[in-house]
Chains A and B, each alone.
Chain A
Amino acid sequence: NAGVTQTPKFRVLKTGQSMTLLCAQDMNHEYMYWYRQDPGMGLRLIHYSVGEGTTAKGEVPDGYNVSRLKKQNFLLGLESAAPSQTSVYFCASRDIQTNEKLFFGSGTQLSVL
C-alpha cells in the first residue's frame, strides 16, 4: 500500500516556466489537499478538493491551478513560476468516512531561479 505519492521529489525551474506536480493516493480517499511549507510560515493550504471533479481555494491560491479529474489524482499546476513559489509542496488526503486524520506525501522540493 503506497499511500500518498508525490512526483517529482525535486525540481528546479527558471522564472516563467510552467510545471505540474502530481499527487496520487491509493486509499480511495475523497478529500485531497495541496500545502506549501516555508521556513517560519508552517503549512499553508493552497487548494483542496472534496471529491472528483471539484476544487476549492485555500489560503494562498494565487499563481496555482489544480485539477481532480480522477479520484486518486490531484494535480497542482504552476503556469508561470516565480521565485516566491520556491517552497516544499505537500499533498495530503483524508478519508472522512473512517477517521479524521490526514495522510501526507513525502513532499516536492521546488526551486524557482
Chain B
Amino acid sequence: GEDVEQSLFLSVREGDSSVINCTYTDSSSTYLYWYKQEPGAGLQLLTYIFSNMDMKQDQRLTVLLNKKDKHLSLRIADTQTGDSAIYFCAESSTTNTPLVFGKGTRLSVIA
C-alpha cells in the first residue's frame, strides 16, 4: 500500500530555518498536506499543495514538491519556540480516499 516516510526528529535554534522532509510512494498522489500537532491537541492543517504545483508559499512557510522524486519538504523561516510541535506529512490520491500519514517529525526549537 501507499507509504509516507519522514524523519522522526529535528532540532533547530530559534531564528534559524527549519526544513522537514517527506517522501511518498504513491505516484497517483494528488493532494499533499502538512499538519501540525501541538502537545495534547489534535492535528491542524498548516498548508497543502496540489501535485501540479512545484512550490507554495504562505508567510513563513514554503512547501516544495519534487514530483519526479516523490519528495515533499516544508521550510519554516525564522523558526520560533512556538513552532515546536510534531509535523505530519500526508497524501491522498483523490478527495474520496483517506489520507495516509507519515509517522511525524518532532521539531524542537532551542532558544
Contact = CB atoms under 8 A, between A and B. Distances in A.
Question: Are the chains A and B members of one assembly?
Answer: yes
Interface of A: 4, 33, 35, 40-45, 48, 50, 58-59, 90, 92, 94, 96, 100-102, 104-107
Given A41-B103, A100-B92, A104-B43, 14 more contacts: A33-B98, A35-B101, A40-B8, A42-B88, A43-B101, A43-B104, A44-B101, A45-B100, A48-B98, A100-B48, A100-B95, A102-B43, A105-B42, A107-B41
Q: Which of B31, B35, B42, B44 has the most CB of A within 10 A?
A: B42
Interface in B6-65: 8, 31, 33, 35, 40-45, 48
A100 B31 contact: yes
A101 B33 contact: yes
A106 B42 contact: yes
A102 B45 CA distance: 7
Interface of B: 1, 8, 31, 33, 35, 40-45, 48, 88, 92, 95-96, 98-104
B71 to A, nearest CB: 18
A58 B98 contact: yes
Given A40-B8, A90-B43, A107-B41, A45 B104 contact: no
A1 to B, nearest CB: 15
Nearest to B6: A42
Given A100-B48, A104-B42, A42 B101 contact: yes
Nearest to A35: B101
A74 to B, nearest CB: 13
